[in-house]
Amino acid sequence: MVDITNKNTTLRTAVAQAVVMVSKQETITAIENDTVPKGNVFAMSKAAGLLGVKRTPDILPDCHPLPIEFTGVEYKIDGLEITVLFTVKTIYKTGVEVEAMHGASVVALNMYDMLKPIDKGIEIHAIKLLKKKGGKSDFKDSFRKDLKAAVVVCSDTISAGHKEDRAGKAIINKLESCDVKISEYVIIPDETEDIQQKARTYQEQGIDMVIYTGGTGLSGRDVTPEALLPLLDRRIPGIEEAIRSYGQERMPFAMLSRSIAGTIGNTLVLALPGSTNGAKESMDAIFPAVLHSFRILKGARHD
């Protein structure tokens, strides 16, 4: 199956349809009057759909098992057509489009099975997804496409040439996937003055984001938060909490990171862990949703 361990948990919704076409008005009348020999068609078909949607990963090998937290079934009769609307909701890492379509299919098949003794001309049409919501694309901000970022690696070891940087490059890869232009990528030692000078310079140059990696741990040379905090106009605790929460779900030492987030003027400043996995997971935790901050900084509404 596709690896979804890097995805964020969000509210996911999908609505699918199936259309059951009967061949005569008498069938519709029997459904409405509850005189179908096999029982109440709508109630039993709804029950079949509720059972079926929860078995979706048992039938489709690449479908992830996930908690089904809401299922709704609606029927609309138009002439000889009965449209089944099947809604599924979950709070999880992946969407429920397939579950919704599977549920609609099961409802339609159960209707077929119950109605075939009284109508030999039944057909099932138009099983399709009508809408979905809650995936990454729903939170990708489209306000600006000209954002620029500077990536600063804070490490005595890497700046001295004793080790290759991987964390900074992981950050750059994520930024580029979000259409953010890299204005500068630089490696500096763990020195307070150097860290502060970079933040001031980039803010004066109008760089939208300055992302530091390294120096957020607990060793004596980890001074990135202490260097940046006096410069910040405002901290953004929610970003910091999201980073640590995401990391803690993946490894028990994430709580020891002292990642910070805030603004200097209209420049967003992030200080992320120096390990490759720590930096990558921190970026996965907040991008692309964090780009929405630039809409707010410009005075736009959240909606």
- The pTM of the full predicted model, rounded to 2 decimals, is 0.76
**Same-domain check for residues 266 and 174:** yes
The DSSP string of 218-279 is SSTT--HHHHHGGG-SEE-HHHHHHHHHHHHTT-TTGGG---EEEEETTEEEEEE-SSHHHH
Q: What is the pLDDT of residue 117?
A: 96
Domain end marker among 107, 133, 159: 133
**Same-domain check for residues 114 and 193:** no
**Same-domain check for residues 109 and 180:** no
Spell out the alpha helix ranges (H) of 141-223: 156-159, 167-177, 192-204
Domain end marker among 106, 133, 160: 133
Q: Is 153 within 8 Å of 160 (Cβ atoms)?
A: no
Q: Is 141 part of any domain? A: no
**Same-domain check for residues 121 and 233:** no
Number of domains observed in the structure of the chain: 2
**Same-domain check for residues 155 and 279:** yes
**Same-domain check for residues 166 and 246:** yes
pLDDT tens-digit series, residues 31-85: 999 999 999 999 999 999 999 999 999 999 999 999 999 999 999 999 999 999 9
Task: Give 20 or 300, the one with higher predicted confidence.
Answer: 20
Residue 141 has pLDDT above 90, yes or no: no
CATH number at residue 272: 3.40.980.10
pLDDT tens-digit series, residues 176-214: 999 999 999 999 999 999 999 999 999 999 999 999 999
**Same-domain check for residues 178 and 83:** no
Residue 302 has pLDDT above 70, yes or no: no
**Same-domain check for residues 67 and 183:** no
* For range 263-281, the mean pLDDT: 96
Domain end marker among 101, 133, 165: 133
pLDDT tens-digit series, residues 107-135: 999 999 999 999 999 999 999 999 999 87
**Same-domain check for residues 206 and 114:** no
**Host domain of residue 99:** 10-133
Q: What is the pLDDT of residue 116?
A: 96
Residue 142 has pLDDT above 60, yes or no: no
Over pLDDT 70: what percentage of the chain?
A: 95
Neighbours of 144 (CB within 10 A): 13
Q: What is the pLDDT of residue 8?
A: 84
The yes-or-no answer on residue 113 being catalytic is yes
Q: Give the closest residue to 272 by CA, choosing from 201, 200, 213.
A: 213
Q: Is 169 part of any domain? A: yes
Specify the long-range contacts of residues 175-178, CB closer than 8 Å, at least 24 apart.
Answer: 175/149, 175/151, 175/209, 175/211, 175/283, 175/287, 178/140, 178/287, 178/288, 178/291
Q: What is the pLDDT of residue 143?
A: 52
Residue 303 has pLDDT above 60, yes or no: no
Instruction: Name the average pLDDT for the chain.
Output: 94
Select which of 113, 119, 156, 194 is catalytic: 113
Spatial separation of the C-alpha atoms in residues 36 and 3, rounded to whole Å: 46
**Same-domain check for residues 161 and 70:** no
- DSSP assignment letter at 65: P
CATH number at residue 114: 3.30.70.640
Residue 103 has pLDDT above 70, yes or no: yes
